[in-house]
Amino acid sequence: MLGKVKETIDRYRMLANGDRVLVGVSGGPDSVALLHVLKEISPLFGLTLHVAHLNHGFRGREAEADAVFVGSLAREWGIEYTKGEYDVPALIKKTGMSPQDAAHEARFSFFRRVAARVGANKIALGHNLDDQAETVLIHLIRGGGMEGLGGMRPCRGDLIRPLITVTRQQIEQYVQDHNLKTVTDSSNFKSIYVRNRVRLELVPLLQTFNPAIKRVLAQTADLIRGEADCLDELADRAMERVRSAGSIAEGESLSLTGLAAEPLGLQRRIIRRAYAELAGTARGLSFHHINDVLALAEKETGSRLNLPRGVIVRKDYHTLELSAGEKVDPVPDFKYPLPVPGCILIPELRVEVFAKVLPATELPEGEWYSEEAVPFRQAVLDFQRVSLPLFVRRRRHGDRFRPFKGRGEKKLKEIMIDRKIPRPQRDRIPLVASENTIYWVPGITVADGCQVTGDTRQILHLMVRSSLV
């Protein structure tokens, strides 16, 4: 199994020399095997490991015993350890979220906080091939699109899943071969949870049709992700064509003519992306919601539609106007290192930020610095005029920015007010900056002095893409 994991790490470039890796460990076979594997290969990559364990508040003394076990295991293996507690049942009661979704939100929020505190640049999760197959089936049952049927990505920003190509059976054999101690989560056998029913009832039934069904589903997810990535690139370009000049000022403004000119598949992706920009996530937006938005385009001017998370869609004379209501959650402060080249997931905004370095001869086509056609999701800068390291962060009190073709440096708040950006949206703009300088404010412009000129030798190409999760 160790060789298989190494192949997966190499294939997806999960690790680099000197990485600091936060490892989510529940105490079950998957996470214990993951921690052991990373401990074994850490000399190859010069890794620094840190264990994180969260008690979700579901299982009382059993969960407390799990935390004690994980802490003892970390100490035995000489790895730093952080434990946390979260009252997920209270979160469910407060928000109406499902137990799985609430636990997911609590767990990832905890991982992010710990990673930031200990300086971890990777977060390793123990999902395996069986989990991948179950995820695909769950999304198929619920009517998920390509994003759902593509399953879990082996890498998403700083999240890595080194066991994603390994079966649960192989993991159990690895645990046995290395005489590893683990704990058992009794909730994994309760049929009240959809995933457990899929694992315990549906998968065994499908195996009577095809004994290799789990591997087939995982391979199918891999194929779908590849197709989805191609469509994402097309959707990025289409979004720029369809988004009207009022998008930044009023939320999201989509040209009716431009939208109608795109294929139906891209129209749906554009609606989904526009919604995610405002709501912070595409969760909760169903196929029927998207069709309702497209149907609104055929109705009379002034017609409106209420979507989940307080997003409102209104038909104007020539546009569909999407705006955020009061129910959109505030954005907490965040700051993540941006690898150059590379990408980083910003979970607070549900977006990914990509960075590429290109020769000046490969400047992508586009009206990069025209005030009438500023690309919202992309920017190009002179790489030699940018100081590394770069970060992606939320705006902060006192931020100052020197915009391209502007009259000197101004407070970023004043620039946003001048551009009529609504207050709820100002914190939803991911800034790309060094420790001392803001280089790009998406939807506004790049910093003066960093623009591409005839003397530019290398281009820094930046792009923001909704993660749609």
Interval 402-415: pLDDT, tens? 988 777 888 998 88
Interval 228-247: pLDDT, tens? 888 888 888 888 888 865 44
Give the mean pLDDT of 343-363. 86
Q: Are residues 250 and 190 in the same domain?
A: no
CA–CA distance, 427 with 310 (Å, rounded to integer): 17
Q: Is 59 in contact with 187 (CB distance < 8 Å)?
A: yes
In a domain, 138, yes or no: yes
Q: Are residues 273 and 343 in the same domain?
A: no
- Predicted confidence at residue 469, as pLDDT, reads 40
- Predicted confidence at residue 221, as pLDDT, reads 95
In a domain, 228, yes or no: no
Interval 242-251: pLDDT, tens? 886 544 444 7
- Predicted confidence at residue 416, as pLDDT, reads 84
In a domain, 330, yes or no: no
β-bridge pairing 122-124 and 20-24: parallel
- Domain finish residue from 324, 346, 365: 324
Interval 91-148: pLDDT, tens? 787 767 778 778 888 888 889 889 888 989 899 999 999 999 999 999 898 877 788 8
- Domain finish residue from 163, 185, 218: 218
- The torsion angle over the Cα atoms of residues 442, 445, 448 and 449, rounded to 10 degrees, is 70
In a domain, 9, yes or no: yes
Q: Are residues 379 and 276 in the same domain?
A: no
Q: Are residues 192 and 110 in the same domain?
A: yes
Q: Are residues 304 and 391 in the same domain?
A: no
In the predicted structure, residue 365 carries a pLDDT above the cut 80: no
Domain residues for 306? 243-324
In a domain, 224, yes or no: no
Tokens representing residue 423 in the block: 């207050």
In the predicted structure, residue 281 carries a pLDDT above the cut 70: yes
- Predicted confidence at residue 190, as pLDDT, reads 66
Q: Are residues 118 and 193 in the same domain?
A: yes
**What's the mean per-residue pLDDT of the chain?**
87
The β-bridge partners of 80 are: 50
- Predicted confidence at residue 248, as pLDDT, reads 43
Which carries the bigger pLDDT value, residue 180 or residue 445? 180
**Residue 353 is part of a domain; what is its CATH number?**
3.50.40.10
* Count of structural domains, the chain: 3
In a domain, 254, yes or no: yes
In a domain, 131, yes or no: yes
Q: Are residues 401 and 283 in the same domain?
A: no
At 160 the three-state DSSP class reads strand
Give the mean pLDDT of 147-155. 90
CA–CA distance, 395 with 429 (Å, rounded to integer): 8
Q: Is 51 in contact with 74 (CB distance < 8 Å)?
A: yes
Q: Give the pTM.
A: 0.70
**Residue 186 is part of a domain; what is its CATH number?**
3.40.50.620
Give the mean pLDDT of 176-205. 86
In the predicted structure, residue 215 carries a pLDDT above the cut 80: yes
CA–CA distance, 464 with 386 (Å, rounded to integer): 18
Interval 282-339: pLDDT, tens? 777 888 899 999 999 889 988 999 998 788 999 988 889 888 765 556 788 899 999 8
Residue 433 confidence class, pLDDT cut points 50, 70, 90: very high
In a domain, 177, yes or no: yes
- Predicted confidence at residue 378, as pLDDT, reads 84
At 233 the three-state DSSP class reads helix
Which carries the bigger pLDDT value, residue 422 or residue 39? 39
Q: What HEC string does 39-68 produce?
A: HHHHHHHCCEEEEEEEECCCCCHHHHHHHH
Give the mean pLDDT of 17-33. 95
In the predicted structure, residue 260 carries a pLDDT above the cut 80: yes
Residue 439 confidence class, pLDDT cut points 50, 70, 90: very high
- Domain finish residue from 271, 289, 324: 324
Of 25-39, 52-66, 179-193, 228-242, the one with minimum mean pLDDT is: 179-193
Q: Are residues 308 and 358 in the same domain?
A: no
Of 71-75, 115-119, 395-399, the one with minimum mean pLDDT is: 115-119
Lateral strand order in the sheet of 80-85: 80-85, 48-55, 20-24, 122-124, 159-160, 155-156
Q: Are residues 58 and 77 in the same domain?
A: yes
- Residue 302 phi/psi, 5-degree rounding, is 100, -15
Please tell me which of 61-70, 248-257, 363-372 the model is most confident about, judged by mean pLDDT.
61-70
Q: Are residues 319 and 368 in the same domain?
A: no
Of 74-83, 91-100, 425-434, the one with minimum mean pLDDT is: 91-100
In the predicted structure, residue 374 carries a pLDDT above the cut 80: no
Residue 422 confidence class, pLDDT cut points 50, 70, 90: low
Q: What HEC string does 372-429 produce?
A: CCCCCCEEEEEHHHCCCCEEEECCCCCCEECECCCCCCEEHHHHHHHCCCCHHHHCCC
Q: Are residues 295 and 367 in the same domain?
A: no
In the predicted structure, residue 468 carries a pLDDT above the cut 50: no
The reply to whether omega before 389 is within 30° of 0 (cis) is yes
Q: Are residues 442 and 352 in the same domain?
A: yes
Q: In percent, how much of the chain has pLDDT > 70?
A: 91
CA–CA distance, 20 with 18 (Å, rounded to integer): 7
